DNA sequence: GTGCAACCCGTAGCCACTACGGGATCAAGC
DNA sequence: GCTTGATCCCGTAGTGGCTACGGGTTGCAC
């Protein structure tokens, strides 16, 4: 039997909007602490697991790596004077993201250009192939 | 001894700007055809390998998956009336890229917002952590 | 002929999961 | 109390696109 206010792994995963296997994975890699177990060996999660998993999920949505998240979780411990360290991690990640946007934007322009030429008809060879094939 | 105009794997890789191991990998997964070998077993590449590898590399730079590239290479064979199929692949990829840009742009805005708040001082808790931690 | 760079191959590692399979457990209905 | 079916257990392998490693061969210039 399970104490009140505890969650099975399945309910925890559903509540946080992640895959059940992902929760086990996070435990394996040390992002989620091992929960209590029922007599039969099933995982039994407390509310703090739930908020921790939600934290991880939101950080993943913002594109932080699991390594970043590990550090963020450590810095999120109450009482840590950590805002500047957190800011560093987030600011670095922001730079990464901005760089990726720049790259992808150029890439999209090149793709759009090639695709647009395809639609104009009267092209001897496929413009996309031509773009890729030219030395 | 190696016939004139052929390349070792190392020179081919350098010429195309990819890692030597990547060339072997492309051969393993069927993107590059197996080249001739020297008596001693070393790979000996002809010029057409070079242009094929360059094609692959440019397609990778445009973010096409290896599966996409496999299809593009098949469609790039001379004589194929393939422009519309190529266009389909490229247009789908363009949509993916544009969607990714949209996502990343939102993400960058959220990150920038959290980071900016960090700099304002007079914040009780770290705004980044607060964003991640709130239900 | 000798030295050393370049190559060979198979395998394992990276990230962040996801899937699979065969067996155990849980909870609800009767 | 018993059956049933959902849920959970664990270990392992697969994904994409490489990259690295290591121990052994080959190529080529001197």
B124 Cβ nearer than 7 Å to chain D strand = no
pLDDT band at B28 (very low <50, low <70, confident <90, very high): very high
Give residue-wise pLDDT tens across range B92-118. 999 999 999 999 999 999 999 988 888
Q: Which nucleotide is nearest to A69 (CA to C1')?
A: C16
Q: Which residues of A touch B90 (CB under 8 A)?
A: 111, 114-115, 118, 128
pLDDT exceeds cutoff 80 at A28 = yes
Mean pLDDT (whole number) for A104-115: 92
Find the CB nearest B132 among A72, A94, A131.
A72
Mean pLDDT (whole number) for B7-14: 97
Whole-number pLDDT of residue A126: 83
Give residue-wise pLDDT tens across range B61-91. 999 999 999 999 999 887 666 688 899 999 9
Higher pLDDT: A4 or A66? It is: A66
pTM reported for the whole predicted model: 0.87
Q: Which helix (H) or strand (E) holds A110?
A: helix A83-118
pLDDT exceeds cutoff 80 at B119 = no
Give residue-wise pLDDT tens across range B48-65. 999 999 999 999 999 999
Q: Which helix (H) or strand (E) holds A23?
A: helix A20-28
Look at residues A111, A109, A105 and name the one whose alpha carbon lies nearest to residue A128: A111
- In A, minimum Cα distance to B117 occurs at A87
To the nearest whole Å, the CA of B50 is away from the closest chain A CA by 10
Q: Which residues of A touch B107 (CB under 8 A)?
A: 61-63, 97
Whole-number pLDDT of residue A11: 96
Cβ–Cβ < 8 Å for A69, A53: no
Tell me the CA distances in angstroms from B27 to A22, B21, B39, B62, one per residue in order.
Answer: 33, 10, 20, 21
Whole-number pLDDT of residue A81: 62
Q: Do B111 and A90 touch (CB under 8 A)?
A: yes
Q: Which residues of B touch A84 (CB under 8 A)?
A: 118
B44 Cβ nearer than 7 Å to chain D strand = no
Least confident of A54-63, A118-127, B36-45, B61-70: A118-127
Q: Do B115 and A90 touch (CB under 8 A)?
A: yes
Whole-number pLDDT of residue B134: 74
DSSP result, B47-83: HHHHHHHHHHHHHHHTT--HHHHHHHHHHTSTT---H
Whole-number pLDDT of residue A2: 46
B70 Cβ nearer than 7 Å to chain D strand = no
Least confident of A84-93, B9-18, B78-87: B78-87
CA atoms within 13 Å, Cβ hemisphere of A76: 20
């Amino acid at each position: 039997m399970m104490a009140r206010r505890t969650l099975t792994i399945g309910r925890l995963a559903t509540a946080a909007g992640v895959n059940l296997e992902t929760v086990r994975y996070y435990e394996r890699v040390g992002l989620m602490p091992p929960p209590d177990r029922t007599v039969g060996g099933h995982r039994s999660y407390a509310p703090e697991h739930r908020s921790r998993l939600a934290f991880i999920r939101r950080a993943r949505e913002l594109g932080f790596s699991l390594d970043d998240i590990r550090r963020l979780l450590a810095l999120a411990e109450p009482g840590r004077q950590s805002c500047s360290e957190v800011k560093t991690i987030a600011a670095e990640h922001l730079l990464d993201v901005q760089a990726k946007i720049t790259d992808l934007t150029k890439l999209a322009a090149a793709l759009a250009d090639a695709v647009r030429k395809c639609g104009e008809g009267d092209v001897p060879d496929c413009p996309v192939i031509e773009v890729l094939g030219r030395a």
